[in-house]
Structure 1
Amino acid sequence: MEYKGLKVGTLLSVLAFLVGIYYRESENLLQKRLTAVLEGLEEVETKHVGSGRPRVAIGYGICTDVYIDAKYLITYSKDVGDPEHFDEIKSEDELLKSFAYYFRHGAAAERFMPNGSLFNQLVSHARSFSSSYSNIGGNAPVMAFRFAKEGCDVLLAAKMTKSLRQLIPSNIRVAGGDVQQDDIHLVLEYKRGETWGPFTSSRANRYIVHNDANNPTISSLEEFDKLLPEFAPDLFVVSGLQMMDNYPFPEGMRFSRLMKVKQQMINQPRSTKIHFEMASFAEENLLLELSELVIPFADSLGMNEQEIANLYSLMYNGNISLVADSNPRVATVLDQMRLLFKLIRKNGKSIENARQLTRIHVHTLAYQAILNVKNSVWKNTMAAAAKASLTANRHVCGSNNVDIQKAMLIMDDSFSTSINAGRRIPLDIEKPVSCWDEVFKIDGDNVTIEVCVAPVLVCTQASQTAGGGDNISSAGLVPQI
């Protein structure tokens, strides 16, 4: 019996040893795979380093972002009930139901909170935690900071307090006067796999509430308008318009302000490229107004997987989608990009002063997809996709260097170029950015398109998710200006 016991014990030891070898080898193979993808992306990124200092003008608005881990600020209880969508958040009960609605999907959301007293209480409570912190926020300034970091000269349209203005880097020129109090955005962050009551997040993301007074009215537009001719930007970026969502404007004021944005876009010379950065929109009427007054006058559009699903649903089905798949297949997104491109180009032909859309960038958790017209004003598409991909990891992990110990690939080993009869493209880890040409027929015209898809080394230890899309989109634009 002792002999048999000895043999069993020896066998178990050998098995444990072999299992250990297997897992070590698997880990080594994974690390080699991630290293190969990283080196491949970095090689493409560095191959197209721009010369000179492109001039980028960007509007509109600024705020102070107050960050807090969501689970510290809001507590789940059975009284929360079923998750529910609200266009705006009027009470703490609505906040909890709305947070649950987006948290369970791992989807980003941004909502206006008209109850100023409740909002201020939440901000004070968030700041009482030692783990909370504050940064300059808002789409325009976050993008401005990234453009400046990438070597651009920047003109930012924003009104702010004198104390906040002191934090703006010297290579960013500000167009806009002073205000007595800066707008604040409360950013409730959560990580992948976190639980909140019965819900588990499928990815790291954030839920934002605000009670803005300055940003919704685009109060810096007029001062910005005065400086634009002298600044003569190579690229003009329109962003931050989601702050108009469900804001209590006097009758006709929102439409009037959007008409001024439209005119500002029309006034730019054709040599100035125009990019519109999408965001989280809840109000269907606003998105409809943007599809008529802003989108037709842009050369380029930037958005995430939620925002493209929203715009696609509006333009194809006539209504908006509240949430979408947080990790959609490449084929799904590419098909949405193709349809939007064709619809916008076709509709633009009947709109006076419209520009022909030539670029769409969709940034998702797993990959970057850029579509632009071949031999158009947009160059270096492959480098743009690689740079956007690397910026995704760098921003979320909070590091200038990508650490493969804190990264993973969630993009499939191969992807289809379309849901219907698409060809499969394998992921080449040594040449990870896949590019190809397609020909679209639009109203009898043949338009040759270049498409590039790059995998993202997803950060597994998120430092912050807010501002991710703005950093990624800006970084992707820089090689293409």
Structure 2
Amino acid sequence: MSSRCFISFLFGQPKLEKCVRCGKTVYAVERVEAGGQIWHKGCFRCGQCDVVLNLNSYKQADQQLYCGKHYQAMILAKNTQTPAMSLEVLCTFKEPNQHQEFFLMASLYSNRYYLLGTTFAIIALCVPFWFYRPPHFDIDVVLSGLYRLEASYRPFPQPQPGPLVIVGFGGCTDVTVNALTFFDSFGAASYTTRHSHRSPDASFELNSLEDVFDDFTQMFAAGAAAERYVRNQSLFELLVTKAIATVTNPNRLRETAERGTLSLGGNAPVMATRLAREGAEVTLVARLSSREIQALPSSVRVLAAPPNFGLPETPKTDVHLVLEYDKGVVWRNNTAPRANRYILIRDEENPRLSSLWPGLMSSWRKWGNHGGGVGKDESTFPDLLVVGGLQTMDNAVISPDIRWERMEALKHFLAVETPRATLVHFEMASFVETNFVANLTRALLPYVDSIGLNEQELPNLRSLLSKGRVASQASLSTPRAAVMLDEMREIWSLLAHPTQLPRVGVGLRRLSRLHLHTLGYQIVMVRRPAATMNIDFAAADRDLASDQRDIELGFAWPFARAAAAKASLIAHRHTCATASIDPELTRLLMDDSFAVTADPARWPSALHDGAIPRIRFDPSAPVSCWFEAEPVASVEGGGSKPPGGNSLTRVEICVAPVPVCRRVTRTVGGGDNISAAALRTQLVERKRRSG
């Protein structure tokens, strides 16, 4: 019996729902429900302008979906029509005085009902708001709960230096501008929209302004962050030159981004800066210009390739053009569902991984940041290695042979040079080139303990691992928690279970941590010891090397609840550019409750006594955590279902609401700051060991 038949036998045949727009079957991962009807995510569109909608911004009337702009236009058109009754009464009488008398009476009659109708419409709109009281409306109570958790893990003052962290690879200079103002300076209104959905396997390049506007429109409509490589060098130089001409600090970089300025950018420098601010001893592996190094905190030590590696002494500065927009602004009949950014790049240093060289780890032992410690022998190892910035290789104009050779060099560094006791975190990013990202997963993911990603990158990675291709459409900017939890389980099962590892290559590590950061909530999933596990017996297992036990038995990532809270608070502080959170500038997008799974037949490990648990939001204890068996996916293509998880371990899942900033100052670097802060929280208990 096939696995799918076996599941149907146990749980019954799942109900197949049809999309009201296209009539095709809707599966759980792409399901949107509104007004008692079901849509695909891609079919949930305004009937007038075809813009993709989300559950926070759609309007519905007469079985038709509308965006805010066209809904208002439709209501206005209905309310300004001449009532048919007045004209009929006027045409019934022949005498002039009768014309006037009954015309006046009919007008008063129709106006009276018009006023009554308007009054009832207003009442109908207000009643739901009057009776509906969000259980988390008291922002102060929620913030107090998050503050308590944030402070719960920090043993200040620290008697020892913080954890030792290496962050790589590369860096850049960010030019941050307002997207719509910048595009208007190129006469964007005169260009024809060619907005369409690309097929998953289609090649995609930016060679003209039309290409840029078209891709930006698709990302803008979904409120999705994106980073794209510009093939046309002349076009990129034109864009960058015009943007730099508008900045206020052309001679000195800021440490953090702000619109209309130059700043130090790139995943690695931004994460290194945040980790250092939170008390870690950080070494940044990057080839940076002197101006870029000056923008780093003094506590971050920069490590670059030695002269004998054969690189020019002065690296070429890679520039990223960061185009930010605010929530609610309008572009080509699309309204932004959230504030976000669209980044254009054309890197030359970063795609070559020029900051990665043979002997990097031994160089770190000699010259890296060890917190003032003297133990710089071969037994010294970093507590954490963070890998980021690899999206600069996506679609890059370099030889495929060079790109493949550099990926093999990274694989060798992770597999051979990196100590097994060092935790490895990979910060996911925006990718569009299927062949490259498929090679990346085979080279990198078998050597990774932790992955950080957002609501766009999560379905992208799941699609890549399960279907072998990058997802073709942007996800909703505020996805349902149950759907995201199922996608996290899918990735966990594909990367953590021994029977699934061959999908990306047999590796030396099993995934033990996933961190999803979205606009409305944070989810941290980590491995934990099973409740029935005999810790002393498991620790004596000879099949586990001494430096693997903490990770394999679920002790490597403590304080998941505090990490989720910390990530939520950093999300607000970064986007609002403030150290203190003003409740008046804060809103919550979390539902009052959510189911832990949208697909119980596929994920029985999430059920409790055969029922789907529902998590209720408690403002005084805002972070919800629970345990499940380690997720195990069904084997596709027939065969029996793999055994249900590891009997020694389970997973802990923590969900925290984000106090969303109402007055966004910046979006770029948000994910990097959030991920780094959560990582630092979970490194507190790492012990400084040698050997």
Alignment partner for residue 501 of structure 2, among 348, 352, 368? Answer: 348
Q: How does 1:422-441 map to 2 (within 5 A)?
A: 422-440=612-630
Is the alpha carbon distance of 1:316 and 1:124 closer, same or farther for their aligned partners in structure 2, counting shifts above 3 Å?
same
Q: Secondary structure at the match of 2:191?
A: helix
| Within-5 A mapping of 1:155-174 | 155-174=283-302
Match of 2:421 in 1: 271
Q: Distance in 1 between matches of 2:631 and 2:679?
A: 26
For the 8 Å contact 2:146–2:565, the answer to whether it is kept is yes
Q: CA deviation at 1:115?
A: 2.0
1:14-25 correspondence runs (5 A) = none
What aligned pairs does 1:328-339 form with structure 2 within 5 A after superposition? 328-339=479-490
Q: CA deviation at 1:326?
A: 1.4
TM-score by length of 1: 0.91
Two-structure CA RMSD over aligned residues (Å): 2.4
Alignment of 1:152-231 (within 5 A): 152-176=280-304, 178-222=313-357, 224-230=360-366, 231=368
- SS in structure 2 opposite 1:39? helix
Matched ranges for 1:46-445 at <5 A:
46-50=151-155, 51=158, 52=160, 53-75=162-184, 76-77=188-189, 79-84=191-196, 87-129=204-246, 132-176=260-304, 178-222=313-357, 224-230=360-366, 231=368, 232-266=381-415, 267-322=417-472, 323-346=474-497, 347-348=500-501, 351-374=505-528, 375-421=554-600, 422-440=612-630, 442=632, 443-444=642-643, 445=646
Preserved CA contact (<8 Å) 2:287 2:315: no
Secondary structure of residue in 2 paired with 1:104: helix
1:226 positional shift: 4.2
Kept after mapping to 2: 8 A contact 1:80/1:96:
no
Which whole-Å CA distance do the structure 1 matches of 2:235 and 2:426 have between them? 32
CA distance in 2, matches of 1:32, 1:309: 31
CA apart distance, 1:94: 0.7
Cα distance, 1:441–1:329 mapped onto 2, change above 3 Å: closer
Instruction: State the identity as a percent.
Output: 39
The separation in 2 between residues aligned to 1:453 and 1:168, in whole angstroms, is 32
Write the distance in 2 (CA, Å) between the matches of 1:206 and 1:259.
Answer: 32
Asked if 1 retains the 8 angstrom alpha-carbon contact of 2:513 and 2:557, the reply is: yes
Count the aligned residue pairs: 460
Relative to its length, the structure with more strand (as a share) is: 1
Q: Cα 1:251–1:82, aligned 2, differ >3 Å: closer, same or farther?
A: closer
SS at match of 2:491: helix
CA, structure 1 residues 162+472, in 2 after alignment: closer, same or farther (shift >3 Å)?
same
2:372 is matched with which residue? Answer: none
The question of whether the paired residues in 1 share the 8 Å contact of 2:274 and 2:677 is answered with yes
Please tell me whether the aligned partners of residues 113 and 211 of structure 1 are also in contact (alpha carbons under 8 angstroms).
yes
Separation (CA, whole Å) in 2 of partners of 1:234 and 1:283: 32
Instruction: Return the alpha-carbon distance in structure 1 between the equivalents of residues 443 and 303 of structure 2.
Output: 23
SS of aligned partner of 1:385:
helix
How many angstroms apart in 2 are the aligned matches of 1:449 and 1:29?
A: 30
Q: How far apart are residue 79 of structure 1 and its match? A: 2.7
Corresponding residue to 1:35 among 140, 153, 159: 140
Q: Is the 8 A contact 1:296 1:354 kept in 2?
A: yes
Tell me the alpha carbon deviations over residues 430-474 of structure 1, each in whole angstroms, 9 at most, x when there is no partner: 000000000126543333110000000111111110110000000
Structure 1 residue identity aligned to 2:244: R
Alpha-carbon separation, structure 1, partners of 2:163 and 2:470: 36
Once the two structures are TM-superposed, the CA of residue 72 in structure 1 deviates from its matched residue by 1.3
Structure 2 counterpart of 1:172, one-letter code: V
Counterpart of 1:38, as a letter, is L
Q: SS state of the match for residue 476, structure 1?
A: helix
What secondary structure, in the 3-state scheme, does the structure 1 residue paired with 2:495 have?
helix
DSSP 3-state at the match of 1:65:
strand
Q: Secondary structure at the match of 1:294?
A: helix
Residue pair 2:135, 2:617 contacting (<8 A) in 1 also: no
Superposed displacement of residue 349, structure 1 = 6.9
What is the CA–CA distance in structure 1 between the aligned matches of 2:661 and 2:360, rounded to whole Å? 37
Q: Secondary structure of the residue that 1:216 maps to in structure 2?
A: helix
Paired amino acid for 2:520: A
Shift of 1:101: 1.2
Structure 2 residue aligned with 1:459, among 642, 647, 661?
A: 661
Amino acid at match of 2:407: L
Q: Is the 8 A contact 2:450 2:513 kept in 1?
A: yes
Q: For 2:507 and 2:331, locate their aligned partners in 1 and report how far apart those are by CA, in whole Å.
A: 49
Shift of 1:262: 1.2
Amino acid at match of 1:428: D
1:268 Cα deviation after fit: 1.4
Shift of 1:175: 1.3
Task: State which structure, 1 or 2, has the greater radius of gyration over its C-alpha atoms.
Answer: 2
Please give the TM-score of this superposition, normalised by the length of structure 2: 0.64
Contact 1:47 1:383 in 2 (8 A): yes
Q: Tell me how far apart the structure 1 counterparts of residues 192 and 227 of structure 2 sit (CA, whole Å).
A: 20
Which one-letter code corresponds to 1:42 in the other structure?
A: Y
What amino acid does structure 2 have at the position aligned with 1:188? Answer: L
Residue 225 of structure 2 aligns with an amino acid whose one-letter code is: A
1-side partners of 2:516 and 2:655: how far apart?
10
Query: Does structure 2 retain, via aligned residues, the 8 Å contact 1:367–1:455?
Result: yes
**Distance of aligned partners of 1:417 and 1:174 in 2 relative to their CA distance in 1, 3 Å threshold:** same
Tell me the CA shift for residue 78 of structure 1: 5.4
Farther off after superposition, 442-451 or 211-220: 442-451
State how far apart, in whole Å, the 1-side matches of 2:137 and 2:191 are: 49
CA contact (8 A) 2:448 2:509 kept: yes
- In terms of mean alpha carbon deviation, does 463-472 or 156-165 score higher? 156-165
Return the alpha-carbon distance in structure 1 between the equivalents of residues 558 and 204 of structure 2.
39
Question: Which residue of the partner structure matches residue 8 of structure 1?
Answer: none
Deviation at 1:228, TM superposition (A): 3.4
How many angstroms does 1:65 deviate by?
0.4
* Stretch moving more, 328-337 or 228-237: 228-237
Q: Is the 8 A contact 1:348 1:354 kept in 2?
A: no
CA distance in 1: counterparts of 2:290 and 2:352, whole angstroms: 20
**Contact kept? 2:575, 2:665, Cα under 8 Å:** yes
C-alpha contact 1:358 1:376 (8 A) present in aligned 2? no
| Structure 2 portions without partners, runs of 5+ | 1-126, 248-258, 306-312, 369-380, 529-553, 601-611, 633-641, 684-691
SS in 2 for 1:80: coil
In structure 1, C-alpha distance between the alignment counterparts of 2:599 and 2:271, rounded to whole Å: 36
Does the C-alpha gap of structure 1 residues 259 and 197 become closer, same or farther in structure 2, counting only changes over 3 Å?
same
* 1:218–1:225 distance in 2 versus 1, CA, 3 Å: farther
Contact 1:189-1:206 at 8 Å conserved across structures: yes
Contact 2:361–2:418 (CA<8 Å) still a contact in 1?
Answer: no
Q: Is the 8 A contact 1:88 1:114 kept in 2?
A: yes
Amino acid paired to 2:512: T
Q: Which range moved further: 315-324 or 242-251? A: 315-324
Give the conservation status (yes or no) of the 8 Å contact 1:87–1:111: no
